[in-house]
């Protein structure tokens, strides 16, 4: 089951007009999401899925029993080929809704969402070099290398402005990344030496990577198209996305001897447990413990 943007508006509008009390209850729900500074994607997914549920039963979510909800989710999963993403977002949205209406017990009775224990796909250093060399366009080469160089998320890369790149301090200012937090990431010497050439040839106006219209951010689909086309020109057989470059950045830093806490800070992870997963991927040669006294006097290097 997949939805397009127009489906979101149609489903939500129908629920507001056809389900008694939904418009008023949703207004309260929307207000809470905005005050909690939830992301746009979270708002869209929760709203659409709850509206779908309300339309199915003809009642607002908090008037639907847990048994009815379980039956609804089961039917969609087994008979209607419900995607795992839709299932998760419906459950998360219901928990949020129930707690908003002081129904903690119903929130706790929602199905448990198990986290998938999968390891990230990581490119080797040689595969990264092959990937960065494959596009014909300087803009596309620079985009891929820049994403890897700073371990950036897709939206962090898209929203990066020219003024956020500090060549003197060799830093990149990431503004309002995930969790609405600012951070600095390192700027590679490789990028510094090629930065002015990029500006002179590509001529971005405001954002470092712009779309067809000067001054406008580059679209997510356009960026994914860049990496998909680049991979086709390589010998790489792995499933590669922009986030693969972020995974590769973290793993290669570990293999280069950078400590896990520094990598956590560079990635902008709120929880060290999110970063620790790279320890299972990195090919790190364990060091034998020794006395710091030996290091002090040159017995160990």
Residues labelled as active-site residues? 153, 178, 243, 246, 269, 278
* Sequence-distant (≥ 6) Cβ neighbours of residue 2 within 8 angstroms: 83
The strand pair at 171-177 and 165-166 is best described as antiparallel
CA distances from 103 to 62, 64, 97, 108, 278 (A): 8, 12, 9, 9, 38
Q: Angle 22-35/5-18 helices, nearest 10 degrees?
A: 130
Q: Are 233 and 134 in contact (CB under 8 A)?
A: yes
Q: How large is the C-alpha radius of gyration of the chain?
A: 24
């Amino acid at each position: 089951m997949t939805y397009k943007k127009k489906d979101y508006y149609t489903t939500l509008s129908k629920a507001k007009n056809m389900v008694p009390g939904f418009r008023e209850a949703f207004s309260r729900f929307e207000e809470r999401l905005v005050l909690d500074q939830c992301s746009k994607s979270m708002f869209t997914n929760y709203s659409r899925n709850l509206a779908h549920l309300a339309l199915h039963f003809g009642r607002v979510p908090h008037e639907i029993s847990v048994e009815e909800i379980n039956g609804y989710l089961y039917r969609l999963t087994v008979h209607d080929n419900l995607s795992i993403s839709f299932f998760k977002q419906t459950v998360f949205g219901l928990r949020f809704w129930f707690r908003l209406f002081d129904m903690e017990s119903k929130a706790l009775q929602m199905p448990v969402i198990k986290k998938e224990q999968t390891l990230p796909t990581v490119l080797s250093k040689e595969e990264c070099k092959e990937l960065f060399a494959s596009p014909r366009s300087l803009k596309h080469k620079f985009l891929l290398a820049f994403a890897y160089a700073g371990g950036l998320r897709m939206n962090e890369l898209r929203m990066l402005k020219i003024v956020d790149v500090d060549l003197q301090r060799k830093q990149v200012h990431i503004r309002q990344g995930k969790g609405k937090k600012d951070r600095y990431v390192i700027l590679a010497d490789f990028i510094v030496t090629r930065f002015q050439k990029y500006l002179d040839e590509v001529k971005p106006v405001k954002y470092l990577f712009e779309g067809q219209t000067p001054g406008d951010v580059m679209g997510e689909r356009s960026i994914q198209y860049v990496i998909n086309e680049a991979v086709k020109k390589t010998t790489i057989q792995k499933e590669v996305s922009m986030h693969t470059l972020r995974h590769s950045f973290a793993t290669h830093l570990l293999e280069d001897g950078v400590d896990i806490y520094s990598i956590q800070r560079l990635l902008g992870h709120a929880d060290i447990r999110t970063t620790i997963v790279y320890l299972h991927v990195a090919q790190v040669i364990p060091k034998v413990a020794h006395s710091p006294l030996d290091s002090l006097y040159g017995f160990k290097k």
